[in-house]
Amino acid sequence: MSPRSIPVRWRLPVLAAGAFALVAGLYAALLLLGLPVPAPDVPLEQVHGPLMVLGFVGTLVALERAVALGARWALLAPACSGAGGLALVLTGPSLPGRLLLMAASVLLLMIYRQLWRRQPAPALLAQATGALGWYAATLLWLAGFGVPEIVPWLAAFVVATIAGERLELAHLSLPRHGERWFLAALGALTVGVTATVLWPAVGAHLFGVGLLAVVAWLLVNDVARRTVRATGLPRYVAVGLLTGYVWLGLAGVLWAGAGPVTDGPRYDAILHLVFLGFTMSMIFVHAPVILPAVLRRPLPYRPWLYAPLALLHATLAVRVLVGDALGVQAVWRWAGLGNVVAVLGFVGCAVAAARGAARGRARTTAVPPVVAAVR
């Protein structure tokens, strides 16, 4: 282990805090769906979005970037976001939780600064732009803006971060001017999300256009267009990516065409198209690649990983196209429950795959060298 690397035993509590935010956020989703579950003393449903996006996704992103940097101080970024999620669960939308989440974004920006010094790249610029979106979201939340009003900034965080990671993988096969078009799309997204605060009535339309620009670039340039014809893990990743891009594109159409929205069926649809259909799909398909790098434990691809992915997209389609679009409350509620089951199902599948790999490694290690050589 490098002297500057972060010990795995330090990473586990941080990852556990992110997992706790995920479980709490899913429980808040059940409350928002109106399902008959016990309501806690803390208004958990008021922090559902920040728990899922910052407490869970933010912790995963910050942890992966901290491990990539290799500096031990960088672990403070995911530690702050994990602690911020815990504070939201214990005290609701309180000042300590929001301050911790903002501190996490500042530390993440510092990580990107160090990574930029190592090797400047457009992909890193995009990811730093995402961290800036996280910072702006928490700053506005502290300033008194409601969660629905900061949703575009939360969306900019996940979209810019994921787009930057996909650019890293695609840069070797990019056509001429491919990076320039990417930066143009990123610029449109940044202008649009800034306009949602300065000129809310027009800003939402511009933000939708920015989302569509990013989606168009991804659909044209992402290597998933080719790897979807492969087999095994590459195809699984490609299926999740392309499906997620479709959902993100639909969210962009709704924002660009209909403008600002902070409640009602269209708000529910946009919110979950971005953070379930796009973001959670990205997490599902990248987990077999990212988690082993973070935890130094294998998470092998298994065909049954398609089951929670298919359930996620099927229940989201029913939720949006029937529950939200047609206003069928019962369908909306049970499809929402299906979304929760899909996420928990993926966690269960991932744990099963990792434990199976660990047992296989243990059996292989236990075989005497002479026997292994004969085999």
- The pLDDT of residue 363 is 62
Q: How far apart are CA 170 and CA 50, in angstroms?
A: 30
DSSP 261: -
CA separation for the pair 258, 116 (Å, rounded): 38
For the record, the structure tokens of 57 come out as: 């996704």
Phi and psi torsions of 175, nearest 5°: -70, 170
Q: What are phi and psi of 182, to 5 degrees?
A: -65, -45
Whether residue 49 has pLDDT greater than 90: yes
Phi, psi for residue 363 in degrees, rounded to 5: -65, -40
What's the pLDDT at 172? 58
Residues near 318 by beta carbon (within 8 Å), at least 6 away in sequence: 331, 335, 338
DSSP 146-196: -HHHHHHHHHHHHHHHHHHHHHHHHGGGPPTTHHHHHHHHHHHHHHHHHHH
> Do the beta carbons of residue 21 and residue 40 sit within 8 Å?
no
22's enclosing H/E stretch is: helix 8-32
Residue pair 309/240 in contact by the 8 Å Cβ criterion: yes
Domain ranges of the chain: 1-120
Query: For a pLDDT cut of 90, what percent of the chain falls above it?
Result: 78
Question: Helix 178-198 and helix 200-221: axis angle, to 10°?
Answer: 160
Q: How far is residue 353's CA from residue 276's CA, in Å, rounded to a whole number? A: 23
What number is the average pLDDT over the span 260-264? 90
The confidence band for 78, taking pLDDT boundaries of 50, 70 and 90, is very high
Q: How confident is the model at residue 58 (pLDDT cuts 50, 70, 90)?
A: very high
Residues near 119 by beta carbon (within 8 Å), at least 6 away in sequence? none
Residue 298 has pLDDT above 90, yes or no: no
In this prediction, residue 111 has a pLDDT band, given cuts at 50, 70 and 90, of very high
* 372 band by pLDDT with thresholds 50, 70 and 90: very low
pLDDT tens column, 176-186: 788 899 999 99
At residue 371, the pLDDT reads: 39
